[in-house]
Amino acid sequence: MANSHDVVPGVVFSTVDKVARWAQSSSLWPFAFGLACCAIEMMSTVAGRFDIARFGAEVFRASPRQADLMIVAGRVSMKMGPVIKRLYDQMPDPKWVIAMGACSSCGGVFNNYAIIQGVDKVIPVDVYVPGCPPNPDALLYAVTRLQEKIRSGEARPGHKILEPAQEVITVESGRTS
Amino acid sequence: MEFEQTRRIFEKARERFGEDVSLSDRPNGEGSIVVEPSLIRDFTRWVRDEAEGSFDFFGEVCATDFLGRSPRFDLTYTVYSTTANRHLHYKTRVDDPDPQVDSVVDIFPGAGWHEREIFDMFGVRFHGHPDLRRILMPEHWRGHPLRKDYPLGGEEVQFSSNFADITPQTLPPAPGEDIFLGWDVLETQPSSYTQLLESGAELEHDGEGRMVINMGPQHPSTHGVLRLLLELDGENVVKAVPDIGFLHTGIEKTGESLNYQQALTLTDRMDYLSPMGNNLAFSLSVERLIGLEPPERATILRVIFAELTRIQSHLVWLGTHALDLGAMSAFFYCFRERDQILDMFEMVSGVRMMTSYICPGGLREDVTDDFVPALERFLKVFPDRLGEYETLLTRNPIWLERTQGVGKISAEDAVAYGVSGASLRGSGVRWDVRKAEPYCGYDTYDFEVPVGTNGDVYDRYLCRIEEMRQSHRIIRQALSRLQPGPVQAEERKVVPPPKSEIGQSMESLIHHFLITTIGFVAPPGEGHVPTETGRGLLSFYIVGDGSPKPYRMRARTPSFANLQALPRMLEGCLVADAVATIGSIDIVLGEIDR
Amino acid sequence: MSEELVTLTIDGVTVRTAPGTLLVEAAAQAGILIPVYCYHPKLAPVGACRMCLVEVEGAPKLIASCTTPVREGMVVYTDNQRVRKAREGILEFLLVHHPLDCPVCDKGGECPLQDFTYQFGPSRSRFRYPKRHWDKPLQIGPNILLDRERCIMCFRCVRFCEEISHHRQLGVFQRGNNQEIGTFPGQPFDSRFAGNTIELCPVGALTGAPTRFFGRTWEIGHTPSVCTGCSTGCNIRVDSRHGSEVVRLWSRENPATDDGWLCDPGRFGYGFVNDGRLEEPLVESDGQCVPATWQQAIARAGAVLEQHAKAGTLGILTSPRMTSEELFSVSKLARTVLKVPHLDHTARYVHPAAVDLRAFAASAGFTPGTLRDIQDARQIITIGVDLSREQPVTDLRVKKAVTQKGAELVVVDAEELELSAFARHTVLWQPGDEAATVMSLANAVASPSEANGMQAVGELLRQEGPKVVLLGWRVGESPDAERIGESLAALAQALGPGTRCVTILRHCNSRGALDLGVHPAEDPVSGRGMSGEEMLRAACEGRIRALWLLGEEPLQDADPDLVRRAMENLEALVFQGWSLPSWLERVPDAALPSTTFAEMDGTFTNTHGRVQRIFRAIRPKGKSRPGWEIVNDLAQALGHPFDSRTVEAVFEEMCAATPAYRGLSWNSLGVAGRESQADSAAAAPAAAQG
């Protein structure tokens, strides 16, 4: 980051973008959105042994207006779908979504009339965490991957709400529509 | 519950009701009394008031769709006696088109939500029900999902071979595009409350403004996706109406399309705080249906795991309940012990939570060598840790202030609503299924069942703390009895043979092949064994039809009934007290909505 | 039949059944399952496996219910302690030498040995000794693998060869422990019906070589359909995997067409569905075929068709293996939009009088019959058709009538046929002399005193009927067909009224093509168009300059030299089909990929007029689409969009416009099909039933 022949002790040179991304990634404020069993493992992740606070993400906010990371932990039923959409819309930009567990990634064990087959049918997802439920370690890995993603500055057109999206791209999977 | 007991009650019923009652024809099951639909109310009243044992506790009413048979629907009622320690099944049958029967909600208030669920899932109407609306499915849903002619639904799974063909299904909608056609979220919410108000609930209009606020479905303190409509008079809750179904997963219907071993994995995900408790209840019911006894070692280990599950479930309860009320430290301490228990689960089954370790026939595998030392380590430290939690909370003035006198429910009300577990015992009713109708040899263990007196949040808290202590006691006793031996029943038509035999014996290979691919076959009949999980009375009602798949897999879950009583508990309390009360009844939405 | 029914009791259930019914069948009628291995309803019972043992009151030992006919007042127990013990014991013995092959055996998951062992057999083995071993598997024929270790000696395969196919290629050798099924030294099991033994074998001893390791039955989709190999219209079950490939064809009994059997060419002939497909539309560009979008291909094809239709230089050749809906759409486009009279479904020479062979036979005085009539006949005459090669499953029916029902067969053809071994008489005709031979036969039947060397045949055919004549398509392709028709009329007269005639057509939907008027003979609107053969000749002369070829069959069946010359001379070719033939020495202007029978819904009409539904089993390969959909697009491109947008709608429209199909509805076809109106004037009641 620093230009070596301009070293001034105690001062770091960088770009605004990079610093902003570093700050965002290191202090993600998750939205407390546990739906089902994965929520319990999410609680374990918050607790002392796995400690998500190490990654700066221990401030779980109850209100979507104050959160920037929605961890969809659990299965999304038909009745819950519109609610999730609404909550997602209420989150201010920039925001990220981790689909925690098999149910929110793809419907999981429940391929039936009641469960939406993957929360990515309703909102765009940045990181999918497989598992039923995923180990807290897996969730932490997902958080670190998300942090990498944030820091890399990858474009996430799926999250744009200021411009109408022509294409919807889920970057993680690499497919374009 | 033995067939003979049912028969005795049936004889008396015969005297009273004559030819309109009959005994169902499964003598190696528990038996049930079949009642003419027109007499269901009289019979229910008779059962509650006059029948031998005075069945005061409403367990459940559930429906089974025998498509192709006339009458099509079986409604099975299960009532318990908290004094005589037994239960009774009775059935009535209603037919297409337009199946209907009288509601028994005024006799047993606990029937209210069960009848709503049957209406929602099967389309059976209940006369006289004050509020017959859908409860689990969204309001505007068409069709009755648990009917046999209703498709399971779902979508084609994407593999590499069909990737190109079904890709369009997996793309999310463009922002603004609504995938729920014709369903405006904004419209649904207010109108549902209006409907609630119009549906016959009494509202005292005293000229003052009342506010209706929405608590949930996303709320840190609702312990899941529960939506409560609170009608407030200032800070006081005048009326609370729970709106559930946000986690409805279609487990019962999915179970009908899987074989018994696969359906077992679904049960983990119902009450996700006590997965092994669900496995146990399911396994016991299936074993009852088949007529199978697991070996001694399996039974003892089942008790150990059931109690560990209970402890671990109560720890989550305590941690989150305390967190709701502001005591954040308790959360971290509780999860510390819980992780120790989950490590033990991972040792024996490879999974921390959804183990599916207790299965019909015994256990999946024997415990590993490091399990018993780990368990002993845990047992050694746990009492002190429990003492730590108590030190934090039990005599903490803030805690006392927030929990004493809050969320009260009387013993009569609790029993009438079918509230079970610590939520019932907090009100002074000493009824624990482990003592009342023992399973897995619980009658041979020495333990107490704590009861409270006031039926408030504090008493329920004390009950659960003590339950953890008693669980610890049970585990110690069980551990001391543990002897080497098999952990799976030797019935090769149900339990696959050990892998070592498959290379030697043709019969074993064939049985292993069929049991693994198609599943073992259960005979026609019913299996029902009530158990006590951390939340209360959990029982599975399994109807077998001679095929490898359950014809009906009904879960009577404690949180469903407990939540029904919540409005009662919330009458007259403050909004903050609502938070405390919800925490104290320890509900898990997974098992409410299934 | 007003016979007295026999009353007996099975497991407490009173059963009334016809005398002579086997006990195992009577139990099945009562809904009681008795496990069997060697018993099969179409084979004579042998009582070899002993699985069907039941207890009959009054008999000291258990009785094999598959060889015991019912008796009045019998009291039978099929599920008591003694019977259960016997079954367990039999299964234990069967499993003694059975190899531990389940994980690699094709039969696993659909195996009666597995299923009965689970239901009735022991849970544990007591056998501690080495099992006997054979080299395995043996490829005993081009399509069949034999695993002698798995064989449980039910002899179904050998009995099938002896009683049904009469291709005696399998036998039982050695005794006791060493008993094995095998072929005769040096002789392969290459019967055209070998594949049926795979279905009969209750274990994995006989398995299909082409379908080995197809997968497991529970991960396979099963879809009812109809075989497209010949015009019998055998009902099949298409087994598919991942919804994208056909892995196996299985029989699906329909007494009206196939009687429960399939032939090997049909059973194993599904490769064309999976491989070698035209998967995307192609257009010609600089002498090469390049991939294009559907829009481009349709536009190009439409342009060619329109241009040449207007100039009157367009010919249309459709495949008689296309579904009726596809044929109807093409015919509708040809007649109403393109106004092209030159439409045919074959490029072989067919005599104008015999284009519709069934009408030809009817005008000779024969009543149209169905394939089922064969087994009720007392005299069967085949004329100009080698069933064994041209309609194998019907060949089995004839053999059944002759060997099991005592029918008499007369074969009339150019040379001795395989069926001649079963015929009482074979009448040979010289090429060119068919009419005279048939006339002599007719005269021999008509008058006993006729001394033309056919007295014996005549006498045989004069006997009481019912009589069935099987008339082959080769008769229609003779330039002499008209005179043959006169001779046939005389024969019909001589054989008597009520003689049924089943005309054997070449392809699976030839009958459909004829019913729908996909031939030039009948066209009130545009006058008489050219036949397929005439179109090819006209192409050589330049009168036909463009061809719309659907499928490869019309050209494949035709004279190759003529085809080559015609192709060289064509200006334009539009091809529509499921695979571009490699021998087509011409780059088509547009190639439109269409779906095979496995990828779409539709109907075929079998040779005697039974309309049967096919159901979609797999997704269309690549970008292929059903032919009628492609025609809809062409119609749209040509400015005359069609209304019928679903296959059902096309079917309804087709039935309304086709006299033979009046009264049929999509839903009434079910999975077994329905008979169409054979010929309104002469339709016998049997032919019109569903």
Which other chains touch chain B, taking contact as 3+ CB pairs less than 8 Å apart? A, C
pLDDT value of residue A5: 57
Length of chain A: 177
- Taking alpha carbons only, the member of C688, C690, C647 closest to residue C666 is C647
pLDDT digits (tens, 9 = 90+) for C547-587: 999 998 888 888 888 888 988 888 899 999 999 888 777 88
Give the mean pLDDT of B501-522: 92
pLDDT value of residue C593: 94
pLDDT value of residue A175: 33
pLDDT value of residue A62: 85
pLDDT confidence bin for B192, thresholds 50/70/90: very low
Q: Which residues of B touch C102 (CB under 8 A)?
A: 509-510, 513
DSSP C337: I
Non-local (6+) Cβ contacts of A165 within 8 A are A157, A158, B174, B175
> Chain B within 8 Å of C129 (Cβ-Cβ)?
no
CB atoms within 10 A of CB C42: 17
How close is the nearest chain B Cα to the Cα of C280, in Å? 15
pLDDT at B531 over 60: yes
pLDDT digits (tens, 9 = 90+) for A14-70: 778 778 888 888 888 998 788 999 999 999 999 889 988 988 888 888 889 999 899
pLDDT at B196 over 80: no
Q: Smallest Cβ distance to B506: which of C98, C109, C244? A: C98
DSSP A34: B
CA distances from C560 to B444, C345, C511, C557 (A): 91, 17, 24, 8
pLDDT digits (tens, 9 = 90+) for C61-92: 999 999 999 999 999 999 999 999 999 999 99
Q: Smallest Cβ distance to B269: which of A37, A83, A117? A: A37
Question: Is A75 in contact with B170 (Cβ distance < 8 A)?
Answer: no
Superfamily of domain B2-127 in the CATH hierarchy: NADH:ubiquinone oxidoreductase Nqo5 subunit (3.30.460.80)
Non-local (6+) Cβ contacts of C470 within 8 A are C374, C380, C381, C382, C383, C385, C387, C394, C398, C501, C502, C503, C504
pLDDT value of residue C688: 31
pLDDT confidence bin for A124, thresholds 50/70/90: confident
C328 DSSP β-pair partners? none
pLDDT at B170 over 50: no
Residue type, B105: V
Give the mean pLDDT of B32-42: 90
The region that residue B362 occupies, defined by phi over 0 for left and psi between -120 and 50 for alpha, beta otherwise, is left
Q: Which residues of B touch A126 (CB under 8 A)?
A: none
Read off φ and ψ for residue B102, nearest 5 degrees.
Answer: -75, 145
Nearest CA in chain A to B187: A82
pLDDT confidence bin for A159, thresholds 50/70/90: low
Nearest CA in chain B to A113: B153
How, if at all, do strands A127-129 and C314-317 pair? unpaired
Instruction: Enter the pTM of the model.
Output: 0.87
Output the DSSP codes for C132-164.
P-----EE-SSSEEE-TTT-----HHHHHIIII
B interface toward C at CB cutoff 8 Å?
Answer: 159, 161-162, 165, 491-493, 502-511, 513-514, 517-518, 521
Classify residue C506 by burial, with Cβ atoms within 10 Å: 0-12, 13-18, 19+.
Answer: buried
> Chain B within 8 Å of A36 (Cβ-Cβ)?
yes
* Residue of A44, A77, A89 to mutate when probing chain B, most B C-beta within 10 A: A77
pLDDT value of residue B14: 87
pLDDT at A4 over 70: no
Q: Which residues of A touch B593 (CB under 8 A)?
A: 77
Give the mean pLDDT of C332-360: 88
Cα separation, A16 vs B133, in Å, equals 56
Cα separation, C462 vs C109, in Å, equals 54
pLDDT at B74 over 50: yes
Question: Is C125 in contact with B504 (Cβ distance < 8 A)?
Answer: yes
pLDDT confidence bin for C526, thresholds 50/70/90: low
How, if at all, do strands C590-593 and C572-577 pair? parallel
How close is the nearest chain B Cα to the Cα of A91, in Å? 13
- Tokens 């089993």: give the residue: C617
Residue type, C524: P
For domain B251-592, give the fold. Answer: Cytochrome-c3 Hydrogenase; chain B (1.10.645)
pLDDT value of residue C355: 86
> Chain A within 8 Å of B180 (Cβ-Cβ)?
yes
Q: Are C628 and C328 in contact (CB under 8 A)?
A: yes
pLDDT confidence bin for B166, thresholds 50/70/90: low
What percent of chain C stands above pLDDT 90?
A: 63
Q: Which residues of B touch A160 (CB under 8 A)?
A: 175
Distance between first and last Cα of chain A: 36
pLDDT confidence bin for A176, thresholds 50/70/90: very low
DSSP A108: T
Half-sphere exposure of C255 (CA within 13 A, CB side): 5
pLDDT confidence bin for C524, thresholds 50/70/90: low
Buried (b) or exposed (e) across A83-113, using 16+ Cβ within 10 A? bbbebbeebeeebbbbbbbbbbbbbbbbbbb
pLDDT at B203 over 60: no
pLDDT value of residue A155: 60
Report CA A168 to chain centroid distance, whole Å. 17
pLDDT value of residue C398: 94
Residue C466, preceding bond cis, omega within 30 degrees? yes
pLDDT digits (tens, 9 = 90+) for C272-328: 999 999 999 999 988 888 999 999 999 999 999 999 999 889 999 999 999 999 999
pLDDT at B66 over 80: yes
Cα separation, B248 vs C672, in Å, equals 42
**Lowest mean per-residue pLDDT among C459-473, C619-633, C665-679:** C665-679
Report CA C357 to chain centroid distance, whole Å. 19
H-helix or E-strand spanning residue B538? strand B537-544
Q: Which residue has the higher pLDDT, B53 or B344?
A: B344
Half-sphere exposure of C246 (CA within 13 A, CB side): 28
Q: Are B110 and B416 in contact (CB under 8 A)?
A: yes
Classify residue C414 by burial, with Cβ atoms within 10 Å: 0-12, 13-18, 19+.
Answer: middle
Cα separation, A40 vs A35, in Å, equals 9
Cα separation, A70 vs A129, in Å, equals 13
Residue extents of the structural domains in chain A: 11-152
If you average pLDDT over every residue of chain B, what do you get?
Answer: 86
**Lowest mean per-residue pLDDT among B125-134, C184-193, C245-254:** B125-134
Q: Are B335 and A47 in contact (CB under 8 A)?
A: yes
Length of chain C: 690
pLDDT at C235 over 60: yes
Prediction ipTM score:
0.87
Q: Which residues of B touch C123 (CB under 8 A)?
A: 491-493, 507, 511
pLDDT value of residue C690: 31
A34 DSSP β-pair partners? A73
Residue A133, preceding bond cis, omega within 30 degrees? yes
Cα separation, A47 vs A70, in Å, equals 18
Residue extents of the structural domains in chain B: 2-127, 171-243, 251-592
Q: Are C259 and C396 in contact (CB under 8 A)?
A: yes
Domains of chain C from N-terminus onward: 2-94 (3.10.20.740), 130-274 (3.30.70.20), 282-346+510-683 (3.40.50.740), 352-504 (3.40.228.10)
Structure tokens at C53: 């043992």
CA distances from C142 to B495, C164, C172, C199, C267 (A): 42, 20, 20, 16, 13
Give the mean pLDDT of C434-448: 88
- Taking alpha carbons only, the member of C615, C672, C619, C617 closest to residue C221 is C617
Most confident of B216-220, B372-376, C352-356, C530-534: B372-376
CATH architecture entry for A11-152: 3-Layer(aba) Sandwich (3.40)
- Taking alpha carbons only, the member of A62, A71, A60, A56 closest to residue A24 is A56
Question: Is C242 in contact with B159 (Cβ distance < 8 A)?
Answer: yes
Cα dihedral value B480, B482, B484, B486, nearest 10: 180
How close is the nearest chain B Cα to the Cα of C667, in Å? 20
* Residue of A100, A113, A120 to mutate when probing chain B, most B C-beta within 10 A: A113
pLDDT digits (tens, 9 = 90+) for C14-55: 999 999 999 999 999 999 999 999 999 999 999 999 999 999
Touching pair C, A by Cβ (3+ pairs < 8 Å): no
**Lowest mean per-residue pLDDT among A104-118, B14-28, C397-411:** B14-28
Question: Is C100 in contact with B517 (Cβ distance < 8 A)?
Answer: no
* Residue of C95, C104, C124, C280 to mutate when probing chain B, most B C-beta within 10 A: C124
pLDDT at A84 over 60: yes
Q: Where are the beta strands (DSSP E) in B21-56?
A: 21-23, 33-35
pLDDT value of residue B143: 84
Length of chain B: 594
Residues 209-268 of B with CB under 8 A from A: 217-220, 224-225, 245-251, 253-254, 265-266, 268
> Chain A within 8 Å of B175 (Cβ-Cβ)?
yes
Residues 73-112 of A with CB under 8 A from B: 74-75, 77-83, 85-87, 107, 109-112
Which other chains touch chain A, taking contact as 3+ CB pairs less than 8 Å apart? B
What percent of chain A stands above pLDDT 90?
A: 29
How close is the nearest chain B Cα to the Cα of A125, in Å? 9
> Chain B within 8 Å of A139 (Cβ-Cβ)?
no
Rounded to 5°, angle at Cα C349 from C344 and C350: 75
Q: Which residues of B touch A118 (CB under 8 A)?
A: 170
Output the DSSP codes for C46-88.
---S-TTEEEETT-SS-EETTS-B--TT-EEESSSHHHHHHHH
* Residue of B505, B506, B509, B511 to mutate when probing chain C, most C C-beta within 10 A: B506
> Chain A within 8 Å of B343 (Cβ-Cβ)?
no
- Tokens 């999975």: give the residue: C671
Question: Is B504 in contact with C244 (Cβ distance < 8 A)?
Answer: no
What percent of chain B stands above pLDDT 90?
A: 54
pLDDT confidence bin for C138, thresholds 50/70/90: very high
